[in-house]
Amino acid sequence: MADLSLRATREELIARLSEGATQRLVAIAVALDEAAPLWRPRPFVADPPWTALYPEVVAWCEALTADEVVRIERAERLPEDAPRLMRAWEARLAALTTLTVSTGGAGVGAGVGVGVGERRVPARKSDQVAAFMGCIERAGIATGVGAVLDWCGGKGHLGRALGAHLRVPVTVLERQSRYAFEACELAERAGVSLRFEAADALAAPAGLMGPGVLAVGLHACGELGSRLVEHALREGVHTVALAPCCLHKVRGLRERGYEPLSQLGRAHDPRLDHESLRLATADEVVARPSLQAARRRENAWRMAFDTLARTAGRATYTPLGTMTEALRHRDFASFATEVATTHKIALPAHWDAGAAEAAGWQRSERARAFGLVRGLFKRTIELWCALDRSAQLEEAGFSVELVVFAPRATTPRNLLLLAQSRGSGLLV
């Protein structure tokens, strides 16, 4: 395929982008660079350097109870008594991250085998699908679509709903072949012609896309969403509708950091890494209470173990990676003993499990309160990545709109890229 750089200069490419999106991407990059000392350090690892500069922020955070911290996180809005530094950044970032809200769509999603009355579809998933479809309908980008490709589509709920609404055939790409039977059964009940392609999106076969295809991805995690766009640019599609998710799930991200996708993004790179992209999509607003409690216990136990390891001579924070099996222990003493053995980490000769666990809870809650400062930048980082993706598509000849497609209570990952090809001449 021809190199896009041979067809247009960088300045010409950037000139094609919508002025508002360009200005927003650049302004966000400037803000992130300026505020890097506030969002880069991880309070869970150690007290951030900013604690020495802003004692009023430290005092406010330390005065919060654990329940107050959770309420502020869920509200995504600071209370009136928050420090001036935090409120100033909150206001500046709000101005940068406000987007068109295009939510709703229940009338479009209902009655097509995915909305009201379909007991096998979780209510939140049904709401997400309806809202996603509503945005496509209002944007008017489905005219001329001859087929739908549901990328990493699971049981094909989104593809099936679109196929029924647009009266076109559907292909579901999904690596979990066990979903095939139910996907086809539900499609048959809805009167939709559906083909299930059991394949990993990271190694998806060519030929799934082409002119007239609407390629959709509802929460295609990290690299999976990137592959959707890569195939769309390489094979040519009518429209791409992508709601990104789990931005940190990209191979090699820990070693290389985030590599901007667009020329505009590379020119204004905020130098994001694995931890900052994890921050961008960290949200418990729709997590089950049991899962939230398990995460709090895990963080407290990690902190407690780190305290013991430091007492035994380790100088820095002890990362432990994934510990699914170890976390099944009912008490901290058994957990700490197993982790120390597995990771060959020395613990003090004599230690009190109860005291260590209590110290871990205290450290964990303090770190979470300090994390409110870092958390101010979550949406900003997420939006910069979405704008980088928008610029990538616009530079390749698509017309792109970035909207909020669903309320946060339905899904906190509610950014939706709607990209329609202007023609095949500029596709790479």
Question: DSSP of 340-395, one letter per residue?
Answer: HHHHT----SS--HHHHHHHHHHHHHHHHHHHHHHHTTHHHHHHHHHHHHHHHHHH
- Give the Cα separation of 258 and 273 in Å (integer): 5
Q: What is the arrangement of strands in the sheet containing 239-245, beginning at the earlier edge strand?
A: 194-198, 170-174, 147-151, 213-221, 239-245, 415-421, 398-404
pLDDT of residue 117: 38
Residue 73 has pLDDT above 80, yes or no: yes
Fold of 106-280+377-421: Rossmann fold (3.40.50)
User: 47-80 burial string, b = 16+ CB within 10 Å, else e?
Assistant: ebebbeebeebbebbeebeeeebeebbeebebee
**DSSP tag of 273:** -
pLDDT of residue 426: 36
Contact indicator for 44, 366 with CB cutoff of 8 Å = no
Across the range 24-32, mean pLDDT stands at 96
pLDDT of residue 114: 52
Q: For the range 138-144, what are the long-range contacts, defined as Cβ-Cβ under 8 Å and sequence gap of 24 or more? A: 138/102, 138/105, 139/102, 139/401, 139/418, 141/239, 141/241, 141/418, 141/420, 142/166, 142/214, 142/239, 144/212, 144/238
Please choose, from the candidates 291, 299, 280, 292, the residue with its C-alpha nearest in 3D space to the C-alpha of residue 412.
280
Domains in the chain: boundaries: 106-280+377-421, 289-375
Interval 129-144: pLDDT, tens: 999 999 999 988 888 8
Interval 262-285: pLDDT, tens: 999 999 999 999 999 999 888 876
Q: To 10 degrees, the CA torsion angle through 255, 260, 266, 269?
A: -70
User: Given pLDDT bands bounded at 50, 70 and 90, which one contains residue 18?
Assistant: low
Start-to-end C-alpha separation, the chain: 6
pLDDT of residue 53: 96
Interval 349-378: pLDDT, tens: 999 999 999 999 999 999 999 999 999 999
From residue 300, alpha-carbon distances to 241, 296, 334, 346 in Å are: 40, 6, 15, 19
* SS3 of residue 145 by DSSP: coil
Q: List the single range of 26-35, 98-107, 141-150 with lowest mean pLDDT.
A: 98-107
Q: What angle, rounded to 10 degrees, do the helices at 19-34 and 84-97 form?
A: 160
Interval 293-331: pLDDT, tens: 888 999 999 999 999 999 999 988 888 887 777 777 889
* pTM of the complete model: 0.87
Across the range 28-44, mean pLDDT stands at 96
**DSSP tag of 247:** T
User: Given pLDDT bands bounded at 50, 70 and 90, which one contains residue 1?
Assistant: very low
pLDDT of residue 290: 84
Residue 193 tokens read as 């012609």
